[in-house]
């Protein structure tokens, strides 16, 4: 093979492995070489065992050579955010509080990945307890900048060519924002699509899993693999899931319609982000995008999300916080102190508003294929200045809507900026079909 295996998309790699043109060992070794070459500066990995990864790859090659059944990710390496439990690797959750923590069992999504034939490459760095305090990961495009958070290492690992796929989580903007900052595709499916059993719980009402990939199809394929019903997860639903990879590969039967909401915080956009989004909508044309003023209540949902998240993390991890307060960062402590002041009645009121937001968007998408929105306020911030503002993801996460970011724009310093599309609940395939159309349409206009 003339090209370096680590540069392949997941779908390309899986096809080459299935046809015998590439061995999983070759692919994993190429990825490991890339990691050795660049991760000293990027620091995307919390745990990496090269021998274990190569052993998994060798087993995959042996299975294929024997003519046994193979899955859709057979032999393809995947990175896991270090809040996802693995029975054969530590899961330390981005904090010294859990240093050396070794789970007894795999998270449900890890079981599904193994069944699909994936090679679990290692654990990617997360912010402290998947919340506000950054760890050491840098942006692969420029190490002076942040990769975003909290799925910092997952976004950076894909962007740097370490792995074609990675799994992250999002409680506010922790998949879409780092994907935007690192220039990858990022996808957060409908809430309840992917089971969370065995994943650190920071907010039972808001936590969701998402995927990072080199292509739109890659993110959809990975989402398909780890989607399914799990009765242990209270948000998981017992219904069939849409075929997301098929959606990402399907041509739209008619040109889609988009909505743009004039939200009260749109003034937080950088000049480059605002101009880039205007240019995208100009290419789409007035007939394709309806700009509308958002109801005042939508802007208020930002505070509702914060109230739920802060209250729930204080409840879920109370024993940890009480026992290890001095080990927590000074970034996290004020958030927890605020969360401890939220009363039960105030929290329950916030949950009711959350339900109302979900009901509002059930009706909204009758007239639109997708909402078009920023993925983030602009380029990644300088390292040390936080992980970026998640506000452009907050509403959609609160309502449980599927969202995807496409790396379509470039900022003032040459760093990537994503464009976000948001779709209707449990119509993830339609959202991805619309994203596929938008990507092709923008490329055709630029040609």
Is 291 annotated as catalytic? no
- The chain-wide mean pLDDT, for the chain, equals 97
Q: What is the mean pLDDT of residues 358-386?
A: 96
Choosing from 30, 146, 152, 174, which is the catalytic residue? 174
Chain centroid to CA 337:
28
Contact between 409 and 380 (Cβ < 8 Å):
no
User: Given this model, what pLDDT does residue 2 score?
Assistant: 80
Q: What percent of the chain has pLDDT over 90?
A: 96
Return d(Cα 427, Cα 434) in angstroms, integer.
11
Does this model's pTM top 0.85? yes
CB 212 within 8 A of CB 204: no
- Check: CB of residue 153 under 8 Å from CB of residue 45: yes
Q: How far apart are CA 163 and CA 28, in angstroms?
A: 8
pLDDT at 447: 75
For the chain, report the end-to-end CA distance as a whole number of angstroms: 29
Query: Which residues, 6 or more positions from 313, have their beta carbon under 8 angstroms from its beta carbon?
Result: 129, 131, 202, 203, 336, 339
Statement: residue 415 has pLDDT above 80:
yes
Segment 229-245 shows an average pLDDT of 98
- Report the distance separating Cα 214 and Cα 9, nearest Å: 6
Catalytic residue among 81, 123, 188, 354: 81
Band of pLDDT at residue 257, cut at 50, 70 and 90: very high
* 446 or 104, higher pLDDT: 104
pLDDT in tens, 179-214: 999 999 999 999 999 999 999 999 999 999 999 999
Model confidence at 62, in pLDDT bands (50, 70, 90)? very high
Given a contact cutoff of 8 angstroms between Cβ atoms, the answer to whether 31 and 21 are in contact is no
Is 81 a catalytic site residue?
yes
Report pLDDT for 285: 86
Instruction: Give catalytic status of residue 174 as yes or no.
Output: yes
Looking at residue 299, its pLDDT comes to: 86
Tens digit of each residue's pLDDT (9 = 90 or more) over 291-317:
999 877 788 999 999 999 999 999 999
Q: What angle do CA 12, 50, 162 make, to 5 degrees?
A: 40
Q: How far apart are CA 224 and CA 194, in angstroms?
A: 9
- Report yes or no: 253 and 228 within 8 Å, Cβ to Cβ: no
Q: Please state the three-class secondary structure of 398-433 as a single string.
A: HHCCCEEEEEEEECCCCCEEEEEEECCCCCHHHHHH
The active-site residue out of 9, 24, 146, 150 is: 150
Residue 439, pLDDT above cutoff 90: yes
CA 334, CA 414: separation in Å to the nearest integer?
A: 34
Whether residue 92 contacts residue 59, with contact meaning beta carbons closer than 8 Å, is answered with no
pLDDT digits (tens, 9 = 90+) for 424-437: 999 999 999 999 99
């Amino acid at each position: 093979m003339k090209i370096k295996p680590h540069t392949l998309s997941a779908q390309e790699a899986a096809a080459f492995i299935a046809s015998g043109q590439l061995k999983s060992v070759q692919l994993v070794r190429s990825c490991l070489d890339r990691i050795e070459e660049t991760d000293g500066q990027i620091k995307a990995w919390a745990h990496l065992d090269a021998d274990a990864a190569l052993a998994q790859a060798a087993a995959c090659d042996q299975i294929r050579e024997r003519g046994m059944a193979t899955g859709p990710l057979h032999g393809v390496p995947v990175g896991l955010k270090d809040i996802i439990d693995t029975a054969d690797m530590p899961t330390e959750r981005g904090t010294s509080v859990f240093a050396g923590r070794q789970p007894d069992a795999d998270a449900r999504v890890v079981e599904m990945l193994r069944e699909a034939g994936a090679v679990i490459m290692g654990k990617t760095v997360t912010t402290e307890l998947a919340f506000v305090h950054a760890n050491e990961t840098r942006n692969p495009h420029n190490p002076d900048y942040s990769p975003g958070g909290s799925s910092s290492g997952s976004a950076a690992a894909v962007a740097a060519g370490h792995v074609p796929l990675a799994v992250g989580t999002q409680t506010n903007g922790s998949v879409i924002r780092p994907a935007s900052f690192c220039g990858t595709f990022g996808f957060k499916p409908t809430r309840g699509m992917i089971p969370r059993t065995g994943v650190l719980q920071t907010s039972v009402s808001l936590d969701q899993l998402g995927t990072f990939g080199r292509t739109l199809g890659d993110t959809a394929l990975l989402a398909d693999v780890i989607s399914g019903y799990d009765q242990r997860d209270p948000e998981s639903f017992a219904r069939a899931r849409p075929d997301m990879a098929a959606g990402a590969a399907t041509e739209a039967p008619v040109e889609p319609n988009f909505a743009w909401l004039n939200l009260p915080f749109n003034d937080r956009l950088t000049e480059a982000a605002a101009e880039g989004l205007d240019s995208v909508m100009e290419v789409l044309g007035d007939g394709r995008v309806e700009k509308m003023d958002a109801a005042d209540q939508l802007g208020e949902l930002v505070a509702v999300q914060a109230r739920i998240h802060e209250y729930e993390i204080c409840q879920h991890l109370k024993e940890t916080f009480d026992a290890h307060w001095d080990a927590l960062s000074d970034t996290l402590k004020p958030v927890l102190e605020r969360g401890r002041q939220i009363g039960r009645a105030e929290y329950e009121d916030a949950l009711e508003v959350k339900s109302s937001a979900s009901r509002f968007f059930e009706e909204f998408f009758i007239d639109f294929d997708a909402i078009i929105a920023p993925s983030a306020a602009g380029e990644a911030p300088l390292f040390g200045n936080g992980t970026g503002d998640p506000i452009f993801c907050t509403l959609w996460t609160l309502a449980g809507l599927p969202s995807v970011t496409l790396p379509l724009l470039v900022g003032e310093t040459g760093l990537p900026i994503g464009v976000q599309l948001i779709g209707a609940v449990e119509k993830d395939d339609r959202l991805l079909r619309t994203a596929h159309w938008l990507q092709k349409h923008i490329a055709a206009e630029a040609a």
